[in-house]
Structure 1
């Protein structure tokens, strides 16, 4: 085992409880455009997916939508979402305590979302100082989970080999991306009744458990080197 040296956190649904807000705004916007979509569809089928991938799948099911209307709809949706994030967003339980306990590890946020959305979420919840400018967005890199390239890019920017990184992600697309990147992966599985943690990842149910799990991984890695 490789000693973990760097922590890479997903944002939505891992650090901040933004997904119910996102799901609600997507449902309103997409349905108005003629693409039937409920908030439960996001939470059940599309959680963590890139917005345009969701739109593409909905168009496959329900028919194509005018591209200009889609661009305007997305722009309006993101504006409304930003307003709600700035006033309603909260960190997930245990996140602040976990970040404090793991303060010795370099860390970054690795998200499919736009950097502006990541920054708004962290600033609103008071988590921004834990990460500074180490915010790595799929829109900046032009690479999105479940492709491993976003996590690989993050490891390179942080100056570590993939195997030296632990990825903490709540969405299956993110867990699969980090596993494919060759990282140690912790799956924050808050919906174990509908999601199965992929083989190779470690499941936790809440962020209070994270420091203990990472401590065990570090201890096991050190012990294996001494054999």
Structure 2
């Protein structure tokens, strides 16, 4: 199989943002909710989802006295203050560059709203030089959030590919991996240690502990990264 495009999730896949998001959510819970630990049971439910779907889950679980809109505002402000801490994972830049050099189209398909995406990328512009397409969670053409496959199908279309079997999805979250599988793409998962035992990953053909484990031959390419 000759693949034509690679579709990357952003948070937890290319950028090491999940610990930062967890800290911001915990801060919000401590200020306006029950103060209980933002544990992995809740994190598994919301990772990969857009704020529209994720925030109500956190609000309900932790009995938060603020609206989802107020939570979005809080998180935007805190992220803007802390965005300099956001860095790419090791090998992320090298993999994007390698895939571009091999002739693949490269897309980022993130559940983040466009304004949040732009905030996170302020200090990570080097990644974008190898990216052809960006689709954000608030794009009007994305009707359903992950775990629905809409965002990956849209990203592939913008890359000029309608046959999802010719695409590759890189994902870390359960919702995102489920979306990748549902889209028909070859799905490569890089799950956090806290979720890697989920039965979903039994259906994933390639599982990595980190991007550093990725090898070109996994997708039928030659060369070194």
Q: TM-score range by the shorter chain?
A: 0.7 to 0.9
Mark the runs of 5 or more structure 1 residues left unpaired by the alignment.
220-227
Q: 1: CA distance between counterparts of 2:164 and 2:196?
A: 29
- 1:98 match: 95
- Deviation of 1:9 after TM superposition, in Å, equals 0.3
Listed as ranges, the gaps of 5+ residues in structure 2 are none
> 1:205/1:36 Cα in 2 relative to 1: closer, same or farther (>3 Å)?
same
Tell me what 1:82 maps to: 80
Shift of 1:56: 2.6
2:181 paired with 1:179: yes
Tell me the residue number matched to 1:73: 71
**d(CA) in 1 for partners of 2:120 and 2:22?**
15
Superposition CA RMSD, Å: 2.6
- Higher helix proportion: 1
TM-score calculated relative to the size of structure 2: 0.82
For 2:37 and 2:50, the matched residues in 1 are separated by 16
Structure 2 residue aligned with 1:137: 136
TM-superposed deviation, 1:44: 5.2
Tell me which residue corresponds to 1:223.
Answer: none
Instruction: Summarize the Cα distance change of 1:7–1:121 in structure 2 as closer, same or farther, 3 Å threshold.
Output: same
TM-superposition CA deviations, 1:84-130 (whole Å, max 9, x none): 11x11111111122222222221010011112222332341231222
Is the Cα contact below 8 Å between 1:48 and 1:174 reproduced in 2? yes
Tell me, in whole angstroms, the C-alpha distance in 2 between the residues paired with 1:192 and 1:56: 22
Bigger CA radius of gyration: 1
Which range moved further: 151-160 or 47-56?
47-56
The structure-2 alpha-carbon separation of the partners of 1:75 and 1:40, relative to structure 1 and needing over 3 Å to count, comes to same
Classify 1:79/1:25 alpha carbon distance in 2 versus 1 (closer, same or farther; 3 Å): same
Partners of 2:157 and 2:11 in 1: how far apart?
Answer: 22
Whole-Å separation in 1 of the counterparts to 2:106 and 2:144:
20
* Alpha-carbon offset, residue 187 of structure 1: 0.3
Q: Does the CA contact (< 8 Å) of 1:6 and 1:107 recur in 2? A: yes
For the Cα contact (< 8 Å) 2:170–2:187, is it kept in 1?
yes
Q: Matched residues in 1 for 2:105 and 2:36: separation?
A: 39
- Number of residue equivalences: 213
In the TM superposition, structure 1's runs of 4+ consecutive aligned residues that sit over 3 Å from their partners are: 35-46, 58-67, 192-196
The TM-score with structure 1 as length reference comes to 0.81
